[in-house]
């Protein structure tokens, strides 16, 4: 889904606050631990977790600190898996407990294909209602495969708890000026792209 989590290349943002100000919020390690517990016990998988964050209302996503987004995702998935209810959470917390929006449909992987290092590839011009890991700034763009990673679970299916196949990802190199002509610093941009998101480029 195209929501505000897909930040790459968005304009109008500020200077990076570097180095970071130290801060100590005791609830943050607690959330990190609870989230790890739920993941280890297969209450949900990593893609379901990421997608639950992406399903947060955009205005809330953009204003919530990092671990509050994690908190919202864990709670949303616990409710969706039937391990608690929104009412129980609100009662225990003593106030409103915002959860993410309902999940849409996922999809299964595209038919297997393969690409070689050095090959020119194009990112498919796809728009999907569910989870995917294609940042919008490479949609429809052409790049070159520079390395291949071992097979991972296909996120568009895994995030929706559908039968998940494994597929390689390709580190694809793009030129910044092909991605944002006339409005970028020159650089080589590399993105880890799942095989199903790519298509062959026919020789001219």
Partner 1 sequence: MSDQPKSSIAPPEKRAAAMEMVLRRNSALPDGFVQEFTEHADDAWVTANGARMVARAWSEPAFRERMLADGTGAAREMGFDFPEHHRHLVVLENKPDIHNVIVCTLCSCTAYTIIGAAPDWYKDLDYRARVVRESRTVLREMGLDLPASTEIRVWDTTADTRYMVLPEQPPATEGWPAEKLAEIVTQDSMIGASRLEEVKG
How far CA 84 is from CA of 54, 81, 88, 180, in Å, comes to 21, 8, 7, 45
- Tell me the residue length of the chain: 204
Q: Which stretch binds partner 1 (CB under 8 A): 99-107, 108-116, 117-125?
A: 99-107
Q: Which stretch binds partner 1 (CB under 8 A): 66-74, 104-112, 119-127?
A: 66-74
How far CA 199 is from CA of 42, 119, 121, 145, 170, in Å, comes to 33, 11, 6, 12, 12
Question: Is residue 101 near partner 1 by the rule CB under 8 A?
Answer: yes
Q: Please select the residue that binds partner 1; options are 44, 48, 68, 123, rule is CB under 8 A.
A: 68
Of residues 7 through 26, those in contact with partner 1 by CB under 8 A are: 7-11, 13-21, 23, 25-26
Question: Is residue 92 near partner 1 by the rule CB under 8 A?
Answer: yes
Q: Which stretch binds partner 1 (CB under 8 A): 86-94, 107-115, 118-126?
A: 86-94
- Nearest approach in angstroms of CB 27 to partner 1 is 4
Of residues 109 through 168, those in contact with partner 1 by CB under 8 A are: 133-135, 137, 147, 149-150, 152
| Cα-Cα end-to-end distance for the chain | 32
- Cα separation, 131 vs 155, in Å, equals 7
How far CA 70 is from CA of 61, 118, 153, in Å, comes to 10, 38, 21
């Amino acid at each position: 889904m195209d929501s505000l989590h897909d930040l790459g290349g968005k304009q109008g943002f500020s200077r990076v606050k570097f180095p970071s100000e130290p801060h100590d919020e005791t609830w943050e390690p607690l959330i990190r631990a609870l989230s790890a517990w739920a993941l280890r016990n297969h209450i949900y998988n990593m893609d379901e977790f990421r997608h639950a964050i992406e399903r947060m209302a955009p205005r809330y996503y953009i204003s919530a600190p990092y671990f509050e987004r994690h908190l919202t995702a864990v709670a949303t998935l616990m409710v969706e898996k039937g391990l608690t209810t929104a009412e129980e959470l609100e009662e225990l917390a003593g106030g409103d407990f915002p959860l993410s929006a309902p999940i849409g449909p996922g999809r299964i992987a595209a038919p297997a294909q393969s690409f070689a290092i050095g090959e020119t590839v194009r990112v498919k011009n796809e728009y999907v209602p569910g989870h995917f890991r294609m940042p919008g700034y490479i949609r429809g763009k052409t790049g070159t495969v520079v390395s291949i990673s071992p097979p991972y679970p296909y996120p568009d299916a895994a995030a929706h708890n559908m039968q998940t196949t494994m597929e390689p990802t390709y580190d694809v190199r793009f030129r910044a000026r092909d991605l944002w002509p006339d409005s970028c610093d020159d650089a080589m941009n590399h993105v880890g792209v799942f095989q199903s998101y790519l298509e062959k480029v026919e020789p001219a």
